[in-house]
Chains A and B, each alone.
Chain A
Amino acid sequence: MITLSQIFKEKGYSRRDFLKFATLTTAMLGLPPAMFPKVVHALETKPKPVVIWLEFQDCAGCSESFIRSTTVMPTEVLLDFISLEYHETLMAPAGYYAEESKREAIEKYRGKYILVVEGSATPEGVYCTVGGHSNYELLKEASEHAGAIVAVGSCACWGGIPKAEPSPTGAKPVYEVLRGKKVVNIPGCPPIGDVMVATIVHFLALGKLPPLDSLGRPRTFYGQTIHDRCYRRAFYNAGRFAESFDDEKARNGYCLYKLGCKGPITRNACPTIRWNGGLSFPIQSGHPCFGCSEPDFWDRGFIYRPLSVVEGGFSSKEIATGIAVGALAGAGIAWINRKLRGGK
C-alpha cells in the first residue's frame, strides 16, 4: 500500500514539505486547525485514492488545470499520489487494453474509486463514442459503483459551451444525467486545479465529501463571490473604474466593472487561490471575470458590457416605440371621452 507520505519521500521531498502540503490543504479546505493532525494521519496511512477520469464533450482544459495544481503539491507527486486508473489524455495505454483496464479497475475498487467527469454528456445520440459505447452508457457504467462522483469544469457541471444555444448535441450536465446520485460540482472554465485536488483530499482524509451549496459546489471554494474577495474591490467601493483594457487606470488596479466584470455574481476562489502557483488570476491580469463558474455563462451574451446595463439592450428606438404607443392610447381614450361620453 503506497501512501502520500511515501511518495513524497521517494521523490526526494522532506517531511517538512509533506507537512507544509498537509497544512496548506487543511487551510484551503477551511478546516479548523484541530483537524490538521487528522489530515496528516490520513495522508500518512490511507492508500492513495483511485480515480477514474472520463472525458466527454470538453476541451481537456480541466485536465490541463488539474496537472498544474502547483500550490498544493508538485505535479510529479500529484500524478503519483492519485492513482489515475483511467484518463484518456494522460494514460499510456490505448484502445482495447485501456478499456479493459478501466473495467478491471471498476470491479477491483468497487464502491471505493472516485469518478471524475470532465465534459458534458449526451443522453441522446452517439456522440463521444468509445469502444462502441456512447458517453451516456460509459457514464452510467462508471457511476454505478463509484464511491464519489466529481464533475469538473463548467461543461460537466452545467453543460457549458456544448450546451450553449443551439446545443446541437443536446448536451446535459452530469447531475442531470445521474439523477438520484450525489454529484460534487467543481465548475470553472477550467476550474482551479488545487480546488479539484483539495476536494479529493477531503474525501480521502475525512471519508466524506466537503459541505456543498445548493448547486453541489464545495462551500469552502464557492461560498463567496469573486467581487467580495477581489483586490480591486476597494476601487469599486470608491467608484473608480478602468475605462478601457490596459489603460492607466486598469494598470493602477481600478475596478473592471465598466469593462464587463461579472465578479459580483460569480462564486469562485480565483482571487484567493489564484493560478499558476498563486501567481495571478484573470482580474489581476487586467481582464474582467466573465463568470465561467456560474450556470449558462456562455449564453448570457454580454461579456464586455457592465452588469448594470439592460441585457439585450434598450435604446432610443424602444423609448420612441413606448412613447408612441402611450401617446396613441392616451389620445384615443381622450377622443373617446370627448366624443362619446361628453368629456366625462
Chain B
Amino acid sequence: MTDVNLYDIIRGPLLKFALFVFFAGISYRFFRVLLLGLPEDYAKPKGNPLTKALEKLALKPTQGWRFFMEVFAHRGIQYVGGFLFHIGFLGLTFFVPQHSFLWKEILGFELPYMPQLVADILAYSALLSLIALTVHRVFNPVLKLLTGKDEYFANILIGTIIFTGLLASRWSGGGLYVWALNLHMLSAVILIAYIPFSRLSHFVYYFLSVFFYGWNVGKRGVSF
C-alpha cells in the first residue's frame, strides 16, 4: 500500500466512519445521561431553577473570575494552560482554512478562516500548554491520582494532531510530506471516534452538568 492509497482510505471510509461514530456516540451518551432517572423531588423550589440553569450556562465561565486570585494562586498552570489549550485547539479545529473547507461540507456553510500567522500562534500555544498540563498531571500528587490511561492517550493523540498539523502547513518534507498528512489525519480520525468513549466528551457533559448545577442553585434560591 502506498502513502497515497492510505491517504485515500483515511479521508474516505475511515473519516466517514469516525464521524458517524462520533455523532452516534455523543447522542447515545447524551440521552443515557438525560434519561438517567433522578428520584422525584417534592420540595417546593425557593428560586427559579430554569432561569438559574440558563444563567449558569451563559455566564458560568465569567463568574469563576470572582475567585480568580484565590484559585489562580493554587492552580495557575491549569488556568493559564487550560485556557490557552482550549482556545488554541478549538480555534484550530474550526477556523484553520483547510478545516473550514471540511466544515463547509458538513455544515453547509463556510466558517470564516483565520490568517495562518494566527493559526501558528494558536498551534504553538496549544501544543506547549498541552505539554505543560501533561507534565503538571504527572508531578502533581492529586492530579496524578485522578489521571488514568484515558487522559494520557488523549493527550498524546491531540499532541500528535497539533504537531503533524504544524508539519503539514509549514514543513516541506520531500517525499515524506504525504506521511505527515497521513499521520495528522489518522490521529484526527482516531480522536474523533474516541471522543464519545472518553472524558473528552466533557465538551457535551460540561453543558449538562452546568445546567444541572444551575437548576439546583435555582431550586435552593442561592447564588452559587
CB-based contact A241/B97 at 8 Å: yes
Task: Point out the residue from A241, A313, A322 that lies within 8 Å of B105, measured CB to CB.
Answer: A313
Write out the residue numbers on chain B whose beta carbons fall within 8 Å of the beta carbon of A333: 28, 32
Q: How many A-B residue pairs have CB under 8 A?
A: 162
* A308-338 residues at the B interface, CB under 8 angstroms: 308-316, 318-319, 321-327, 329-331, 333-335, 337-338
Question: Which of A308, A314, A343 is the one whose CB lies under 8 Å from B101?
Answer: A308
CA gap between A236 and B172 in the complex, in Å: 12
Which of B7-15, B69-77, B80-88 has 4 or more CB atoms under 8 Å from chain A? B7-15
A312 touches B12 (CB 8 A): yes
Closest Cβ neighbor of B113 among chain A residues: A239
Query: Which range holds the interface residue count of chain A?
Result: 35 or more
Given contacts A215-B2, A225-B178, A239-B116, contact A343 B37 (CB under 8 A): yes
The residues of A that contact B170 with a CB separation of less than 8 Å are 237
Q: Which of chain A's residues have a CB closer than 8 A to the CB of B106?
A: 310, 314-316, 319
Segment of B16-24, B41-49, B121-129, B135-143 in the binding face: B16-24
Docked-complex contact A237 and B116, CB < 8 angstroms:
yes
Q: Does B102 contact A (CB under 8 A)?
A: yes
Which chain B residue shows the least CB distance to A333? Answer: B32
Q: With A238-B116, A239-B119, A314-B19 as given contacts, are A327 and B31 in contact (CB-CB < 8 Å)? A: yes
- Judge whether A294 and B115 touch: CB under 8 Å: no
Contacts of A257 in B (CB 8 A): 97-98
Chain B residues engaging chain A, CB cutoff 8 angstroms: 2-5, 7-8, 11-13, 15-16, 19-32, 34-37, 96-99, 101-102, 104-108, 113-117, 119, 168-170, 172-175, 177-178, 181
Q: What are the 5 closest A-B residue pairs judged by CB atoms, nearest first? A: A326-B27, A330-B31, A322-B23, A239-B116, A334-B35
Given A264-B177, A309-B104, A310-B16, 19 other A-B contacts at CB below 8 A?
A225-B173, A228-B174, A239-B119, A265-B4, A308-B98, A310-B105, A310-B106, A311-B15, A312-B12, A314-B15, A314-B105, A316-B106, A316-B107, A318-B19, A318-B23, A326-B25, A329-B28, A330-B34, A333-B28
| Interface set of A (CB-CB < 8 Å, partner B) | 213-215, 219, 223-225, 227-228, 236-239, 241, 257-258, 264-265, 267, 291, 294-296, 300, 306-316, 318-319, 321-327, 329-331, 333-335, 337-338, 343
